[in-house]
Structure 1
Amino acid sequence: MLVVTDHDSKVLARRTFRCKAWDLGSALDWAADRASRAGFAGVTVACEPTGHRWMVLAQLATERGMAFVCVQPALSSWVRKTEDLTTDKTDEKDAVLIARLTAQLRCYLPEPVDESHAAWARLRHLGARREELIAEHVAAVQTIRDLLECVWPAVLETAKHPFRSATWVAALAVVMGRGLGHDAGDLDRTRRLGLARFERAVHVEVLRRGGVRPCLRVVRSLFAALTDGAGVLAHRPAVFERLELTLTDWDDSRSKLTDIEARMVDVLDEPDLTALVTSIDGLSPVGAAAILAQTGDLTRFTSARAVVKHAGLAPRERKSGTFTGRARVIGAGRPQLRVAAWWAVWGCLQTNRVYAARYRHLTSRENNRLTPTQAQTAVAAAILRQLYAVVVQQRAWDPVIAGHGTTRWKETPSTTAA
C-alpha cells in the first residue's frame, strides 16, 4: 500500500502494488508523478524498517534522488492505539499513519546503503550471524544437560562446571562415540576398556580439540560414573545416540563461532578501530565488535547519550507535582545492543579499575544505593558513552577522563564484582 500525502497528512493519492521489492521503482515513479501534479517539487519516501527489504526501497529511492527515512514500528503501533483507542491494523491506515509521523519529523535517517559503509554493513551481518551461532551453542548445551539429567545424572557431578571443562567434554565425546547407531554410548563397552585405555582415549580427544592434557581427576570421576544405575535406563540408548549428534552440532557451532568472531575483529581493522576500542581496559576486540555491530557507524549519532537511548539503557524519571517515582531504564531501543553491552560489563568489572571503583561506589554509598544489577546497568551505559567518545574523537581511552578527572580509582586495587 502506497499513499501520497501533503504536509498536513491529506491523502493526495493511494494505490496498492502487488510486486517484488525490486519492482517498487514503478511505484516510486507513480508517487513522484502524483506529487508533481499536486504542485510539489519532490517526494520523501518513508516506511517501517521491518525485515531487510527496506534496504531495497532505500536504494531505489536514492537512485531517483528521493529522500528516504524510516519510522519505528513501535512508535507507529503506539500512535495507532492513541488515535482511536483500538488495535485495528490495516495497510491503508498504517500508510497514512507513517506519512503523518514523517511530516511531524518523528522519523530517523537509517544507515546509508552505499559502498562507503560497506564495512559497517558487513560487521552488522556478521554480528547477526554470531547471535545465531550463540543461540545454537546455548541450545546444544541445554539439550545435553537436560537429557543427561534424565538418563545419566551422575555424569554431571563429575566436574564442578562440566560444560566449561575441556576434559569433561572430551570424555563425554569418547563415551558417546563408543558404538554406532543405537549402540552409541554403550557404558558397559566403555567400562571394559579399563581406566588406563580410557585415559589414553580421552587424552587423544583433548589433543584433537586443541587442548594440552586432560585433568585426570575428572577423567577418573567420569569413569567411575559409568557404573551408576540412576536414571531412566530404558531411554539411555536412544538418548545417547541423540547426544552423539548434539555434540557434533555443538562442536560445529563452536568452530563457526570462532571463525565469525575472527572475521568481526578483521572488520574493525579496516577503519583502524581495533587499537582504539581495545584501549578501554577489559573490553575485548570481540566484545567491542559485537557492540559496534549493533550500533553501526557511531558518527551518525548526535551524542553519546543518543547511543545509550538507542540501547534502552537511559534512565527514565517519573515526577508529577510532589510525587517523585523511582528512576528506571526505559527498556526500549535495540535489545541486541543491550545484550552486547551487558556482556562487556563482566570483563570490564574484572580488569578495569575505573569501572570497578564506580561499581563499588554505586553499591556501597549511603544515599540512593543501587542494587548490583542496577550498578551493572550503569556501567554498561558508561561503556557505550565512552566507546562513542573513543570512536568519534579518534582518541584512546583515558582512565582519568573516564573517572571524571579524579584518580580515586587508583587508591584501591581492582576486585571482582559479584
Structure 2
Amino acid sequence: MKAKTGTSLYTHFWGPLHLVALTLMLLFGQLALMGDPIDFIPLIMGGSMLLLVYFVGWVIRYNRLGDPYLWTIVAMLISLGLAMQYRLSPFNGIKQFNWILIGILTYLVAYGLYAALHERFRSVYFHYALLVGLFAITLIFGTEINGAKNWLKLGTYSFQPSELGKIIFVFFMAACVTSPERLRIRLSGRSFDPKLVMMGLVYLLMGLFAVQREFGTAMLVFGVYMTYIYVFERDVLFTLYNLGIVSLLGLAAFKVVSHIEVRVDTWLNPWADPGGAGYQITQSLFAIGSGGFFGSGIGQGYPKFIPAVRTDFIFAAICEEMGILGGIAVILLFFILIYRGIKLALRIEDRFMKAVAFGLTMTLGYQTFIIIGGVTKLIPLTGITLPFLSYGGSSMMASFATLGLLQALSGQILRREAETLENGYRQ
C-alpha cells in the first residue's frame, strides 16, 4: 500500500499558484498596453513565465519534491521583480528573464546535488578553505565595481563570489555547531575552546570581507553567526561577549574608514546633503512616500531618479508604483518564506541538516532585512541585493541555489515520513 504522507501539502497547492498566474497576467498585460502600438514582448515573456510557474509546480507535485509552497512564494516574488525590471528597462528585463531561467536550472541542480551528496557536506575546514579560496581568487583576479573589489569578470559577464560564499558559510557554521570537537586545537600542550576557535575564524572572515569593502556581507555573516551561537550554543555570556567585541570593532571602523563614516552620517541626516551623499536615500524616501497606499501605477512613477534602482533600490521602485500595500505584500511574502524555512528546520531530526536549513533561512531573512532596512532608512545602507527581486545573475543564482537546498531538505522529510507511514501499514 502506498504511503500518502505529505499529500495534504499538495491538496490546495494549485490555488495559490493560480493567484501567481493572475498576478502575471495583470502585470504583463499592463506592460504590453503601455506600448504604442501594443508591445508584444511582455505578452511573450509573461506567457513564458506562466508556463514555467506551472511546469515547475507540476514537477514538484508529481515527484513529491518537498514543500510546494516554497516555489509558490518565490514564483510570486520573481513575477513582481521581473515586471518591475522590464518596466525600468526592457533590455535589462529580458536579461533578467534569462537569469531567472538559469536560476531555476540552478535550483533543480542544487536539489539534485544536495540529495545525492549531503552526507559529504559536513567538514568544518573544507568549507572554510573554500571561503578563503574565494577571497583569494577575488583579491588576485577581481575587478573593482562601485568601490568594492568583489567581482570576477568572465568575458562580458561579471560574477560576485561572495554570493556563493554566503551559502558555504552556512555549511561551515552548521558543521561548527554540530561537530564542535573538530574545532578543538592544541598548541604547546594547551587546548583551546572550540567556541573561541570558531569565533576567531568568523572574525577573520569578516575582516576579509571588510578588506574587499563588502561591509554589507560582513554584517550578514555576523548576523548569521550570532543567530547560530544564540540558538545552538545557548550561551548568553558568550553572545554578549561577541556583541561587545563587534560594537568596539564597529566603532573603530567608523573612526578609521571614511566610507563607513559617510554611510552612517548619511543615514543619520541625509537631508544635510540631499544632492550629494544623501541623494540615494532621499530619492528612495521620496519614491516610497509619493506612491501612497496604492501606488502611482506601473509606468506612472519616476523610479529612475533613484541611483541603482534595479539592484539595491528595487523595493523603493515597487513601493512607488505598486504602493505601500505592494511593499507590505513583498515583506509578507518574505515573512512567509522565512516561516516555512524555520518550520522546515524544526521538523528535521538530523542536527546538521537542521542547522543548514536554519542557516539558509536566516541568510534570506537577514539579507531581506538589511536591504529593506537600508532603503527605508531604518539602518545604514549597504550594498546587498534583495533576493529574487534585484537585477543580477549572481544574486539570482545564489537565491535559487538556497531555495533548491531548502527544497531538498523538505523532500527528505516527506520521504522519511512516507517510509514511517508505510512501515506502519505493513505492521
* Common fold: TM-score over 0.5: no
TM-score (norm 1): 0.25
Higher helix content, 1 or 2: 2
TM-score (norm 2): 0.24
More relative contact order, 1 or 2 (CA 8 Å, 6+ apart): 2
